[in-house]
Structure 1
Amino acid sequence: MKRARIAWQGAIHSVTPADAGQVQLADGRCVAEQDVVWLPPVDVGTVFALGLNYADHAKELAFKAPETPLVFLKGPNTIIGHQANTRRPADATYMHYECELAVVIGQRGKHIAKADAWQYVAGYTVANDYAIRDYLENYYRPNLRVKNRDGCTPLGPWLTDRDDIANPMALALTTRVNGVTTQTGSTADMIFDIPTLIAYLSSFMTLNPGDVILTGTPEGLADVKAGDVVETEIEGLGCLVNRIVDDQTFFAPA
């Protein structure tokens, strides 16, 4: 089952897919997608992000593939929904997308064995974790401005239940900029798979429902400019659409 969260007519609703271009509310009413504000599909808790979790991406950046997971945290201010805007600061010279499989935790757990990891997963969604190369000091330890800027990480549109995805470690990832495909890959190419990440993280901290693990991105990054429409799509999960805007647009009064 796919579920999303929207704001409509002054309230937050849980919705499911309906006919093309519509979503269905819990009471059965259907609403046009263009008439709602898309929210992140889950009430997000702690966000864990993986660096260099695809060997081809590490090679693309001239880095050796890591021997243990490289993880950093993201604040709740970073997360926005489908069809939202992300700012490209005026001083940025290279800002790129990162199409990522997002794993949503469904139950509390610590010291989780790899063999038991799947039962702690609620489902999956799509993330686009933008980065600005200008601000990057070290790929192994991204500083706050790279990965914790307001609205730098669209998430959604749907949360797809764990049991609806037969093999999350074999999903195609695609990014399109203004309709042109710029990135392709497969979750099969992760260095550290989902059970390994859950076991690793839970070995030293408690995982809670709503926590999200961003599992990294494959090679194929490209600079994006204000005005670009970026689509990040993962097989079986849906297509997350986001627009890049300049400072003037981003800070304009509502």
Structure 2
Amino acid sequence: MKLLRIGAKGQERPALLDGEGRLRDLSAHIPDVTGATIGPESLARLRALDPASLPVIEGEHRVGACVGNVGKLICTGLNYADHAAESNMPLPTEPLLFMKATSAICGPYDDVTRPPGAEKLDWEVELAIVIGSRAKHVREADALKHVAGYCVINDVSERTYQLDRGGQWMKGKSYDNFAPIGPWLVTTDEITQPNELDMWLKVDDVVRQNGNTRTMVFSVAKVVSYISQFMTLEPGDVIATGTPPGVGMGIKPEPVYLKDGQVMRAGIQGLGEQCQRVLPSQV
């Protein structure tokens, strides 16, 4: 299934994308797409519905983040060997973890506003894992049983904040709208091989990233299992799994960073495409 959330920020309602690309209203069946409604039993009930029996949502609507009320937004850094190389950073021997503030989460087509003083605004297309059932000390062999589905995330990053002001990644990655998620939460019955997905990102129609999740250093199952050893993963938590090469920071001979007015388009095979315009600082 492809689940999404439609409506103004803070007023989103749940929807399903049917096989013909039409939006179907799920409001009569679940109040929202959140950790409370994406557990195995709830998803099984939704799968049993006939999409044709659901009301069609007509017209143009804002698409919100594909999962609401996210408790934790956990990121895996340097999880592609060639991205680590372009960043001039050593390849981690264990998954490198950091957090983004959940207040950075926004819809897949919402604008990204430049933070005040930002000089090195960068892009990172990533596969995101959405947890469907509580995971604590899970084995790698069992890890995918705890996943509800997957989506696209753009790990927007301000490298000046991240690297030049004390080396704290979280403050370079947590500004408002630095985590566009969606458009769809695609359930695991449709994405059976999460480590076999093509992914790409363009800036003003110039391809900057072109990779595949098969080149991850640590697989999706490994990442979920590993994180669950250090914290309990709850339904609705989101994990960003790292980015392939091609970020602005790594472009040779000189880095290339986002300018006001530029447009990022990012997509992953089977998970849809998102798009954001960069706006100047509002401060």
TM-score by length of 2: 0.81
Q: Point out where structure 2 has 5 or more consecutive residues left out of the alignment.
A: 27-53, 249-256
Alignment partner of 1:40 out of 62, 65, 68: 65
- Partner in structure 2 of residue 30 of structure 1: 57
**1:156 positional shift:** 0.4
- Partner in structure 2 of residue 125 of structure 1: 151
Distance in 2 (alpha carbons) for counterparts of 1:49 and 1:150:
16
- 1:163 and 2:189 equivalent? yes
- 1:231 and 2:262 equivalent? no
* Alpha-carbon spacing, 1:193–1:31, altered in 2? closer, same or farther (3 Å): same
**1:45 positional shift:** 1.8
Counterpart contact for 1:101–1:234, Cα < 8 Å: yes
Give the SS at the match of 1:242: strand
**1:109 positional shift:** 1.9
Give the SS at the match of 1:145: helix
TM-score by length of 1: 0.90
**1:21 positional shift:** 7.8
- 1:113 and 2:139 equivalent? yes
**In the comparison of the two structures, how many residue pairs are matched?**
247
Distance in 2 (alpha carbons) for counterparts of 1:130 and 1:74:
10
Counterpart contact for 1:126–1:157, Cα < 8 Å: yes
Distance in 1 (alpha carbons) for counterparts of 2:263 and 2:21:
18
Give the aligned residue type for 2:261.
G
Distance in 1 (alpha carbons) for counterparts of 2:183 and 2:152:
7
- Partner in structure 2 of residue 5 of structure 1: 5
* Alpha-carbon spacing, 1:9–1:216, altered in 2? closer, same or farther (3 Å): closer
Give the aligned residue type for 1:221.
V
Distance in 2 (alpha carbons) for counterparts of 1:211 and 1:224:
29
**1:181 positional shift:** 1.4
Give the aligned residue type for 1:31.
E
Give the SS at the match of 2:273: strand
- Partner in structure 2 of residue 98 of structure 1: 124
**1:20 positional shift:** 7.8
Deviations 1:46-74 (A, max 9, x none): 11101111000000011110001110112
* Alpha-carbon spacing, 1:207–1:138, altered in 2? closer, same or farther (3 Å): farther
* Alpha-carbon spacing, 1:153–1:115, altered in 2? closer, same or farther (3 Å): same
Distance in 2 (alpha carbons) for counterparts of 1:20 and 1:177:
29
Distance in 2 (alpha carbons) for counterparts of 1:89 and 1:10:
22
When the two chains are superposed, the root-mean-square deviation of aligned CA atoms in Å is 2.3
- 1:203 and 2:203 equivalent? no
Counterpart contact for 1:72–1:141, Cα < 8 Å: no
**1:225 positional shift:** 1.4
Distance in 2 (alpha carbons) for counterparts of 1:139 and 1:190:
28
- 1:134 and 2:168 equivalent? no
Distance in 1 (alpha carbons) for counterparts of 2:207 and 2:18:
27
Give the SS at the match of 1:176: strand
Counterpart contact for 1:78–1:150, Cα < 8 Å: yes
Name whichever structure is richer in strand by fraction.
1
* Alpha-carbon spacing, 1:107–1:231, altered in 2? closer, same or farther (3 Å): same
- Partner in structure 2 of residue 176 of structure 1: 202
Deviations 1:27-49 (A, max 9, x none): 412323xx322211112221110
Q: Point out where structure 1 has 5 or more consecutive residues left out of the alignment.
A: none
* Alpha-carbon spacing, 1:199–1:167, altered in 2? closer, same or farther (3 Å): same
Distance in 2 (alpha carbons) for counterparts of 1:139 and 1:67:
25
Distance in 2 (alpha carbons) for counterparts of 1:246 and 1:18:
37
Question: Aligned residues: percent identity?
Answer: 38
Runs of 4+ in 1 over 6 A off after TM superposition: none
Counterpart contact for 1:74–1:148, Cα < 8 Å: yes
Counterpart contact for 2:99–2:170, Cα < 8 Å: no
